[in-house]
Amino acid sequence: MEPENGFIQEFKVKGGDFSKAGSISTEIKEILQEVGIDSSIIRRVAIASYEAEMNMVMYSRKGEVSFILDSVKILIKTSDEGPGIEDIDKAMQEGFSTATDEMREMGFGAGMGLPNIKKHSDEFKITSEIGKGTNLSITFYLEQQNKQ
Amino acid sequence: MKLKEIIEKLQLRVITAQGGFETEVTGGYTSDLLSDVMANSQKGNIWITLQTHQNIIAVAKLKELSGIVLVKGREPDEETTNKAEEEKIPLLSSKESAFSITGKLYKLISEKKIDA
């Protein structure tokens, strides 16, 4: 089913630009607050979108985030140009991280990013190609009965 | 409990407080891992950390935290202060360790809850 009245917004991410990091997640959150989405859903979307955004800032050269809101769900899709993930199963394990010492000093690289996205979303898909980049698809259902 | 009361009682130094001192503090969260704070802090919490870079402001804003306390007298990066002003996130500092300031804050907020 293709729901009507979908809202789509696209954002661009520049790899390594920590000064803007978090701004996309903030914008998404503000849109959801404006439309009056339930605050417990907004909380989950904010956590997941922040982690996805930070991953792109930290690891990729550049990337894109599409934010789609329709009557059934919130969908966040990201695609980046970057190193890709060698072992997705490993990357999904809590505590596993390939972050540099510098990132760790800043309080990133705890190996919580991807697991947090999965934990707080209703559906999570990840595909990655070494040397090319990583794509995420993160879905949140507005009504829990629509959850598959 | 209001932010200004916490600032007074814990003798915190105010680096910037564009958002004012009347914010209601719902509790606290102590952590230096940004993902942990993102996932586990609650709206209105005051965040105790040793991180001083600008990304702490984005996290505080996203989570609608009531303020950030930098421990051990750490000074924020210049961009952090600028961002805190822009986003109206109160940025405070204490000479004490995270352990000690967390303990005091916990006691203060618990007592206040009993009084009320």
Best probe of the A interface among B31, B35, B56, by most A CBs < 10 A, is B35
**CB nearest A47 (choices: B38, B49, B51):** B38
pLDDT at B27: 96
Taking 70 as the threshold, does the pLDDT of residue B32 lie above it? yes
Q: Are residues B61 and A18, on separate chains, in Cβ contact within 8 Å?
A: no
pLDDT at A1: 46
Average pLDDT of the residues in A92-119: 94
* % residues pLDDT > 70 (chain B): 98
- Tens of pLDDT, residue by residue over B43-65, are 999 999 999 999 999 999 999 99
Q: Are residues B54 and A18, on separate chains, in Cβ contact within 8 Å?
A: yes
- Tens of pLDDT, residue by residue over B1-12, are 999 999 999 999
Which of A17-21, A42-46, B70-74, B81-85 is least confident? A17-21
Q: Are residues A106 and B79, on separate chains, in Cβ contact within 8 Å?
A: no
Taking 60 as the threshold, does the pLDDT of residue A3 lie above it? no
Q: Are residues B39 and A110, on separate chains, in Cβ contact within 8 Å?
A: no
The C-alpha atoms of residue B90 and residue A128 are separated, in whole angstroms, by 40
* % residues pLDDT > 90 (chain A): 91
* Domain ranges, residue B85: 3-115
Mean of pLDDT over chain B? 95
Q: Which residue has the higher pLDDT, B90 or A6?
A: B90
pLDDT at A4: 58
Q: Are residues B33 and A110, on separate chains, in Cβ contact within 8 Å?
A: yes
pLDDT at B114: 72
* % residues pLDDT > 90 (chain B): 91
Taking 60 as the threshold, does the pLDDT of residue B106 lie above it? yes
Burial class of residue B83 in the structure, from the number of CB atoms within 10 Å of its CB (0-12 exposed, 13-18 middle, 19+ buried): buried
At residue B96, the 3 state secondary structure works out as coil
B91: CATH: 3.40.1390.20
Its sign, for the CA torsion B28, B32, B34, B40, is: negative
For residue A135, which of A93, A97, A73, A84 has the smallest C-alpha distance? A84
Q: Which residues in B lie closer than 8 A to residue A51 (C-beta atoms)?
A: 35, 38
pLDDT category at A79 given cuts 50, 70, 90 is: very high
Average pLDDT of the residues in B78-96: 96
pLDDT at B112: 79
DSSP secondary structure string for all residues of B45-68 = EEEEES--STHHHHHHHHTT-SEE
For residues A81 and A132, is the Cβ–Cβ distance under 8 A? yes
**CB nearest A21 (choices: B39, B49, B58):** B58
Taking 50 as the threshold, does the pLDDT of residue B92 lie above it? yes
The alpha-carbon gap from B46 to the nearest alpha carbon of chain A, in Å, equals 17
Largest CA distance in chain A: 47
Q: What class has domain A7-146?
A: alpha beta
pLDDT at A147: 63
The total number of structural domains that make up chain B: 1
